[in-house]
Chain A
């Protein structure tokens, strides 16, 4: 098996997790990559939780994505939605390119990196 198309990537591509849309959501965003025509949309339900006596933060209670794209962009979105459940807005903002590369566990050319990063871009847009 070609290492770029590791079992896990093909699995997330063929059976994307958290695919669809949310009935109740607080945040959403969509973006596309004009070079490949990839399009990803994310919907999120944030929930306020008490962190300490006088501090409340927002964390992801539920998240869904939809769209179309190549195996890399879809698998990346699917894996990302699994990864970020329960994360705070601050944690989401501090996610970087490196986190995505580690999450996918593959090396990518600069062009393909754009496919992989589309989902992160959309995710971070939801809270901007």
Chain B
């Protein structure tokens, strides 16, 4: 065990079993302290004051940009745009790039395993601009269906044939790095290579909301064009997130919102804007959020992303083994741990095979202080594809233990007893 759950104040409540980190993660003391410190000791605006506490706030704010850039191995910190979260990051790209780029008959490709924030945005854009939305399917294992010449579904294979989908008219592939329902880790690097081979002009946007908190991500290695993630799922505060984009791309885009901070010069007839990333950060930003995110990155880096991933692999293996041992229970997604993160969605059935409604499962778990998410997890197209109205989702993070899993399994058995 590498982590002290006691570093997370909320976990001092020993009764609590928190298995909903895919929705939002818990916060360590150091993150809470960093936010508290800003509000208690230097709560000034950034980029404005010439006095000490404003200078300090600005410094901390920009330091975090550096930290984040280094954390995801971006070429430069000017590629890091602070947003309110993954959702805003994706909407920013749709507005400041997509709206002006996707024309009549142009194509946007996405997948059936997306969170609504990386699906509805593109559906709406395609509709407004007369574009076409194409959706990649998943197989029974929850892996993307990308076929090779022989019609076989390939996955780890470097020869990913997306050629039936990506055409000269495709402007964007919007794809999640890790599924928030199935836990599937998509082979982004290989996919990008193949997409660029088919159409060098097609951009790739990756939704990293479920990846950045759990594994090492490397912008220069992945080869994608945009990457979006949220602070609150990686031990940071809510209301802060990141859009990473290749610099030339960000430079070529129009601003997302207009206002203070993002302008270079304003006259009655004309305004010029600052360079990337300031161009995209109009108004007073979420200073405390950024500073809290910086503390979260420090926390994660001190442990090491490889160590975190290893811990989650062990936990996921354990929970898969335990849950697979129960009758009348279906786990969705792949059993191959090398391509799966610590997100487990499942359903419980009674003896005659009727689905026990996920809400009833959650209710019984709630009574034993076990927090899981139930419903469609903002992924309705995927649930429709799986042919289920909803599911129960247990998601793991660095502070979870085998004991948490034991309690989950015991409660699920209790559900089965009640509904037998």
Q: Footprint of B on A, CB under 8 Å?
A: 1-2, 4-5, 10, 35-38, 68-72, 109, 112, 115
Contacts and interface: CB of A to CB of B under 8 A. Distances in A.
B129 to A, nearest CB: 28
B375 A5 contact: no
B367 A2 contact: yes
Contact of B389 (A2, A35, A37): A37
Contact of A37 (B363, B364, B367, B390): B390
A70 B357 contact: yes
Contact of A36 (B364, B366, B375): B375
Contacts of A4: 363-364, 367
Interface string B346-364: 0000000000011110011
Contacts of B65: none
A71 B375 contact: no
B376 interface: yes
B389 A68 contact: yes
Nearest to A39: B389
Given A2-B418, A5-B418, A37-B375, A112 B364 contact: no
Nearest to B383: A37
Contacts of B376: 37
Given A36-B390, A37-B376, A68-B389, A5 B364 contact: yes
Highest count of chain A CB atoms <10 Å: which of B360, B374, B390 = B360
Highest count of chain A CB atoms <10 Å: which of B357, B364, B367, B419 = B357
A117 to B, nearest CB: 14
Contacts of B360: 5, 70-72
A112 B365 CA distance: 14
10 contacts: A2-B414, A2-B418, A36-B374, A37-B375, A69-B357, A70-B358, A70-B360, A70-B363, A71-B357, A112-B359
Contacts of B390: 36-37
A54 B7 CA distance: 76
Highest count of chain B CB atoms <10 Å: which of A4, A70, A71 = A70
A36 B359 contact: yes
Nearest to A4: B363
Nearest to B350: A14
A112 B357 CA distance: 13
A112 B359 CA distance: 8
Interface in B332-386: 357-360, 363-364, 366-367, 374-376
B364 A70 contact: no
Contacts of B364: 2, 4-5
A10 B364 CA distance: 13
A126 B357 CA distance: 26
A1 B359 contact: no
Given A2-B364, A5-B364, A68-B389, A115 B359 contact: yes
